[in-house]
């Protein structure tokens, strides 16, 4: 069966737009080979980083998956995106797939008065370090790993019979405060935790297990939703502050290459504008069967947007990184972020990959210019796709050029 490559770009393994009951991109021999040694287990004992995933199928009843590798020790790096960034992609994937999950079904509003198992999972989630965890499974593990565009990869699962925790590190003071304060709204808890130095990856875990928010409003949130919700909430608050800063006085171009990906960031003197664009080459994850690169771009003006971007959660992950960079500069600017994905990058790894690469890009060096044309000429020298193809789709470039004519 030949699949229209444009369907894959729009679907990204989520909506079965091709009509198949499974995504042929996600079901591949590489993944299956790596989880084969884990199959058949029914008892798993190890140090959970901690790691918990909340599914979305069956909502408002959802599956919650506490997970642990079958090893003890300092496993915290298995839940640290900034550490993943320095790893070979194959090593990252192999290590994440060792996280074995036990699945248990809860109602989404169970965190209001959590049953014992959910309480134990919440205690695990708020821990400041690895938790010695024993999972007893009702069935042998099979090869159903989780790979998608939003969440980090995670290993196989089976129904959970029981969970036993020991050696539980105390949560940080900020996490303990957010967890125990049942009068604090979830969005305010997110902002408080972020300003206390808790990374968004951890905050999204707390949100997903219903460990933050007003007591009667606490609920389980599917992990892929909580990741985007936290990225959106934090970046929106940062952008509101950025809008009070003076405009950048020069054009800047940032470049980063990582794992068959190119990231380009252009900052221009202007009030806040933002766009995120991706060009998927034939042979890359979502353009496996295409014959030419496919571009998608989403954007927003000064007042933001009121619809969800078709490009998905990467839009908000990259926006967070851009907002953090401008906030640290005490400047506002128009932001153009373009990503080219080349052949060889062919397994989805989650939006963390975008967030951490854009963060790293903005912490690196840049080239400054006095004009937009000079900045674009330099950016063009780094891109493989002709600049004209990017420019024809770019909302922010159009706005910047219009501003020069006024």
Place 29 in a pLDDT band, splitting at 50, 70 and 90.
Answer: very low
Q: Each residue of 127-155: pLDDT tens digit?
A: 999 999 999 999 988 767 777 888 998 88
Encoding tokens for residue 353?
Answer: 């990959």
Is the pLDDT at 360 greater than 70? The verdict is: yes
Cβ-Cβ contacts under 8 Å for 167 (sequence gap 6 or more): 131, 132
Is the pLDDT at 366 greater than 90? The verdict is: yes
Of the chain, the percentage scoring pLDDT greater than 70 comes to: 91
The continuous run of DSSP H or E covering 376 comes out as helix 372-382
Encoding tokens for residue 11?
Answer: 């679907």
The CA-based diameter of the chain, rounded to the nearest angstrom, is 69
Residue whose pair of structure tokens reads 């934090």 in the numeric block: 234
- How many Å apart are CA 99 and CA 53, to the nearest integer? 11
Give the chain's radius of gyration (CA, Å).
22
Residue 15's pLDDT is: 65
Please compute the mean of the pLDDT values over residues 360-387 and round it to a whole number: 98
Least confident of 7-11, 217-221, 386-390: 7-11
From start to end of 59-195, where are the E strands?
61-68, 100-107, 131-137, 157-166
Q: For residues 81 and 201, is the Cβ–Cβ distance under 8 A?
A: yes
Residue 16's pLDDT is: 63
Residue whose pair of structure tokens reads 């990741």 in the numeric block: 227
Q: For residues 254 and 364, is the Cβ–Cβ distance under 8 A?
A: yes
- How many Å apart are CA 382 and CA 390, to the nearest integer? 13
Q: Each residue of 228-248: pLDDT tens digit?
A: 999 999 999 999 999 999 999
Residue 400 has, within 13 A of its CA and on its CB side, a CA count of 24
Please compute the mean of the pLDDT values over residues 184-202 and round it to a whole number: 98
Count helices and strands (H / E) in the chain. 14, 12
Cβ-Cβ contacts under 8 Å for 381 (sequence gap 6 or more): none
Q: Give bridge partners of residue 279 from the DSSP assignment.
A: 295, 340
Is the pLDDT at 203 greater than 50? The verdict is: yes
- How many Å apart are CA 361 and CA 350, to the nearest integer? 18
Can the peptide bond before residue 50 be classed as cis, meaning omega within 30 degrees of 0? yes
Q: Each residue of 6-28: pLDDT tens digit?
A: 677 677 666 667 665 446 565 55
Using the CB atoms, write b or e for 331-346: b if 16+ within 10 Å: bbbbbbbbbbbbeebb
Residue whose pair of structure tokens reads 């959802």 in the numeric block: 62
| HEC secondary structure over 181-234 | CCCCCHHHHHHHHHHCCCCHHHHHHHHHCCCCCCHHHCCCCCHHHHHHHHHHHH
Q: Each residue of 248-270: pLDDT tens digit?
A: 999 999 999 999 999 999 999 99
- How many Å apart are CA 218 and CA 208, to the nearest integer? 10
The continuous run of DSSP H or E covering 261 comes out as strand 261-268
Q: Each residue of 56-87: pLDDT tens digit?
A: 999 999 999 999 999 999 999 999 999 999 99
- How many Å apart are CA 394 and CA 158, to the nearest integer? 45
Least confident of 146-155, 216-225, 231-240, 379-388: 146-155
Q: Each residue of 98-126: pLDDT tens digit?
A: 999 999 999 999 999 999 999 999 999 99
Strands of 261-268's sheet in order across: 294-300, 273-280, 334-341, 261-268, 251-258, 367-369
Please compute the mean of the pLDDT values over residues 287-312 and round it to a whole number: 92
The torsion angles phi and psi of 154, rounded to 5 degrees, stand at: -150, 150
């Amino acid at each position: 069966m030949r699949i229209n490559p444009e369907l894959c770009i729009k679907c990204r393994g989520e909506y079965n737009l091709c009509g198949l009951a499974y995504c042929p991109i996600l079901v591949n021999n590489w993944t299956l080979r790596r989880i084969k040694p884990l199959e058949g287990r029914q008892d798993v004992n190890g140090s959970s980083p901690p790691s918990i995933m909340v599914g979305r199928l069956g909502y408002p009843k959802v599956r919650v998956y506490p997970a642990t590798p079958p090893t003890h020790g300092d496993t915290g790096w298995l839940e640290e995106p900034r550490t993943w960034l320095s790893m070979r992609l194959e090593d990252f994937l192999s290590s994440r797939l060792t996280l074995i999950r036990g699945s248990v079904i809860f109602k989404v509003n169970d965190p209001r008065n959590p049953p014992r198992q959910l309480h134990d999972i919440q205690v695990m989630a708020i821990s400041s370090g690895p938790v010695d965890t024993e999972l007893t499974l009702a069935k042998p593990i099979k090869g159903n790993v989780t790979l998608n565009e939003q969440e980090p990869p995670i290993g196989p699962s089976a129904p959970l019979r029981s969970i036993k925790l020991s050696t539980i590190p105390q949560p940080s003071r900020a996490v303990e405060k957010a967890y125990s304060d049942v009068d604090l709204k979830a969005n305010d808890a997110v902002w408080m935790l972020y300003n206390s130095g808790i990374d968004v990856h951890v905050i999204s875990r707390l949100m997903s297990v219903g460990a933050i928010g007003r007591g009667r409003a606490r609920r389980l949130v599917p992990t892929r939703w909580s990741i985007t919700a936290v990225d959106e909430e934090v970046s929106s608050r940062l952008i509101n502050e950025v809008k009070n800063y003076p405009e950048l006085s020069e054009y800047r171009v940032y470049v980063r290459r990582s794992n068959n990906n190119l990231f380009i960031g252009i900052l221009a003197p202007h009030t806040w504008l933002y766009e995120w664009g991706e060009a998927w080459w034939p042979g890359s994850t979502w353009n496996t069967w295409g014959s030419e690169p496919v571009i998608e771009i989403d954007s927003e003006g000064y007042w933001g947007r009121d619809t969800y971007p078709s490009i998905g959660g990467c839009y908000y992950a990259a926006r967070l990184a851009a907002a953090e960079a401008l906030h640290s500069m005490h400047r506002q600017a128009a932001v153009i972020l373009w990503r080219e994905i080349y052949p060889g990058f062919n397994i989805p790894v989650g939006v963390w990959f975008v967030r951490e690469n854009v963060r790293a890009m903005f912490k690196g060096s840049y080239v400054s210019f006095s004009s937009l044309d000079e900045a674009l000429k330099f950016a063009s020298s780094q891109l493989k796709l002709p600049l004209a193809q990017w420019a024809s789709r770019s909302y922010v470039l159009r706005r910047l050029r219009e501003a020069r004519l006024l």
